[in-house]
Amino acid sequence: MIIRSKPSFKDILFSINGSIIPRIIYHLIAVAVLSIIAVLAAKEYPGIFVQISAIPFTLIGIALSVFMSFRNNACYDRWWEGRKLWGELIIACRSLARQTSKLEQQDKEFIYRRLCAFTAGLSAHTRKTPVDIAIKPWLDIKMDLESPNLSNDILDQIGAHLLELTEAGKISAIHYSVLEAQLTRLSQVHAGCDRIMQTPVPFAYSLLLHRTALIFCVTLPFALAGSLAWWTLLPVLLVAYTFFGLEALGHQLEDPFGNDPNALPLDTMRRTIERELLFALGEKPLPPRIEPVGYVLK
């Protein structure tokens, strides 16, 4: 996730890091080259594009802008839902830590370290990296690597341990039901993340938008070259930057758990949980905070 203050005038003119330009630079270069070709053709053969009017492009541009706004809103909803789910995860972990703070040290270590393992496993799962490697540093037993859901298995272990504590009389039945509700909350977070991962924005929807924007930006220079000459580059590149930029930004927001600059900072949120739970166990030194690198927080 990009962490930057309100851009200054200098940032607006020259800032590259944190913008969408690196993703669309080749599109812009291609459109610029095509515009130059159109201008040279118009100068070499005056009147060659006289029958191409700019009026249809005005109507198409308005329709394309509305269509693009609907898609970007849908992609942002996915990004915001992912952020809310990870917010719920942090709340549930803090609640479990507070509600089990009076247990014996060994029981707290069993629960807290598995909460760290669950968080690390969910982060790896959503980013499609090996879950077993992510959870290994936090567990004192081997997991069944053939399990289809290692993160859920960790919640099962915590639930089984809480049930053993209930049977041993260390926690009451009411206390157990409260703790079980927090585990259910964590399971719901896991399911919510799976829902986002397994239900992408329909491919045909994205393809239609990309094709329409591409055709619009490729044909626009030929409608303007005859009347604007070299000034054609200015409106064409501005339109291309806007349309291609919004399309690329929507693609990044569509996958909130990815590694793009605008994806959610899962590593930072995971580290927040680890630091708080390890502090509750009295362990020192704590893992360092994750700081943004080049204005990007992972």
Measure the N-to-C terminal CA separation of the chain; round to a whole number of Å: 6
The pLDDT assigned to 298 comes to: 79
Q: What are phi and psi of 277, to 5 degrees?
A: -70, -40
CA atoms within 13 A on the CB side of 34: 20
- In the prediction, which pLDDT does 124 show? 92
Q: Which of 223, 244, 239 is nearest to 38 (CA)?
A: 223
Per-residue pLDDT tens digits of the chain, which is 298 residues long? 666 666 665 655 556 666 778 888 899 999 999 999 988 988 888 877 767 777 788 878 888 888 888 888 889 999 999 999 999 999 999 999 999 989 999 999 999 999 999 999 999 999 999 888 888 888 876 666 667 788 888 999 999 999 999 998 899 999 999 999 999 999 999 999 999 999 888 888 888 888 888 888 888 888 888 888 889 899 999 999 988 988 888 888 888 998 888 889 999 999 999 999 999 998 889 889 888 776 667 7
Residue with tokens 């969408």, as numbered in its chain? 20
pTM over 0.75: yes
Give the contacts of 200 (CB within 8 A, at least 6 positions apart): 254, 255
